[in-house]
Structures are given as C-alpha cells and as structure tokens.
Amino acid sequence: MGHLMHLDITVPPEGQASAVIRAEKDTAGMISGVVLDAAGQAVPGAAVQLYEKGISPSEGPCSACFTDEEGCFLFGPVTPGGHYRLRIFTEQPVLPPAAPPARKTAEPDSPQAYAAFKDMYKQ
C-alpha cells in the first residue's frame, strides 16, 4: 500500500482548520500529518475528522481520531482517486449559554392569570 500524503496543518488561535486532499488514482494509501499551533508547536489531543467528498457532513466523518503526544494523526487505507476533507479542532467548541427555562404561565382565562396581570399593574 502506497503512502498518500503527509500534511503539516497549522491551526489558528480560533482552534479550527481544514484541508482538502485528493488521493492518488492508482494506489490506496494513507493520510498522515501533524497538527501545529500558531507558534509551530505540536498539538496533542486535537480532534481530526476525515470526510469523503460527495457525502453530506451531516452524515458524519468516515473516520476520526485524536492526535498523539507529538500532534500526529494517521488515516487509511483511503480509496484510490478519492477526494477528502480534513477538519481539525484543537479546543472544545464554545457553546452559547443555555436559555433560561420558559416560565410556566397560567391559562389566559384562569384566576391565576388575572391575579398575575393585576399584580403587574399595581400602583
């Protein structure tokens, strides 16, 4: 099995990067690489996802791994002539804060609704 490609991928401070790869037509091979931070240092524990072109990202990656202590990753074998996309995440994504739970309200014609409405407009 031939070696496909070795990549050094530098991830910006935002913590995400991607790369597009086209496999050799004649031989199956491997995709390997090193994930580096902006200072050129290896990033251990980065999530690396491999997607096949033509397959919806919502279906998930065809393969995934985490970089080792030296920032290295390896995928394979890959399909000869295949098109792939790598996505790299070096940090946990920052999620927006959860919305507060919805306040339970009374039925519009109930005595509780009337009392709540009256309390809102007390002088």
Domains of the chain: 5-91 (2.60.40.10)
First to last CA, the chain: 83
Distance of alpha carbon 7 from alpha carbon 18, whole angstroms? 11
Residue 121 has pLDDT above 70, yes or no: no
Longest CA–CA separation in the chain, Å: 83
Non-local CB neighbours of 9 within 8 Å, separated by 6+ positions = 17, 19, 33, 34, 35, 36, 86, 88
pLDDT-based confidence at residue 104 (cuts at 50, 70, 90): low
- Which residue(s) pair with 71 in the sheet? none
Q: Are 75 and 3 spatial neighbours (Cβ–Cβ below 8 Å)? A: no
What backbone phi and psi angles, to 5 degrees, belong to 84?
-135, 160
pTM of the model: 0.67
Per-residue model confidence as pLDDT tens digits over 12-57: 888 889 888 887 777 678 889 999 998 899 999 999 999 998 877 7
Closest CA to 4 of 73, 106, 99: 73
Distance of alpha carbon 28 from alpha carbon 76, whole angstroms? 8
**How far out from the chain centre does Cα 47 lie?**
8
Judging by DSSP bridges, how do beta strands 5-10 and 29-36 pair with one another?
parallel
Share of residues in the chain with pLDDT > 70 (%): 69
